[in-house]
């Protein structure tokens, strides 16, 4: 599995790590530092640890590198004006992992 480190990643205290994968073909997409137990609807760029996609660059959308399914769409959060990706609800699987 190809993993490209995200140089924008900041360590988030008290977070747990989710492995996000494509719902269609199970291909690994990214490791993400999630805070709290709220619904997983977005990924802040700075909380993405690494991924199959190069997150040092901003993408208009995140596509599965294997089957090209759209996983998430780039947007700017309203509250804190941060680079983030809004996840397509049915396009991904997530599970807690330890890295
Ligand atoms: Zn896929």
Which domain range does residue 23 map to? 4-97
Which pLDDT belongs to residue 99?
Answer: 72
User: What tens digit of pLDDT does each residue of 13-39 get?
Assistant: 999 999 999 999 999 999 999 999 999
What is the whole-number distance in angstroms between the Cα of residue 26 and the centre of ligand 1? 6
- Max intra-chain CA distance, the chain: 35
What are residue 45's phi and psi, to 5 degrees? -55, -40
CA of 21 to the centre of ligand 1 (A): 8
Q: Give 55 Cα–ligand 1 centroid separation in angstroms.
A: 17
pLDDT of residue 12: 96
pLDDT at residue number 9? 97
Residues sharing a CB contact under 8 Å with residue 48, sequence separation 6 or more, in sequence order: 6, 8, 9, 30, 31, 32, 33, 55
pTM listed for this prediction: 0.94
Into how many domains does the chain fold? 1
In angstroms, what is the span from residue 91 Cα to ligand 1's centroid?
Answer: 9
What's the CATH code of the domain at 75? 2.170.150
């Amino acid at each position: 599995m190809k993993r490209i480190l995200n140089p924008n990643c900041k360590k988030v205290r008290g977070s747990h790590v989710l492995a996000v994968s494509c719902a269609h073909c199970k291909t690994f997409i990214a490791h993400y530092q999630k805070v709290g137990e709220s619904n997983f609807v977005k990924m802040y760029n700075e909380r993405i640890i690494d991924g199959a996609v190069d997150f040092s660059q901003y993408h208009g959308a995140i596509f599965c590198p294997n089957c090209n399914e759209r996983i998430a769409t780039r947007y700017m959060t309203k509250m804190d004006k941060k680079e983030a990706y809004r996840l397509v609800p049915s396009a991904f699987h997530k599970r807690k992992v330890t890295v």
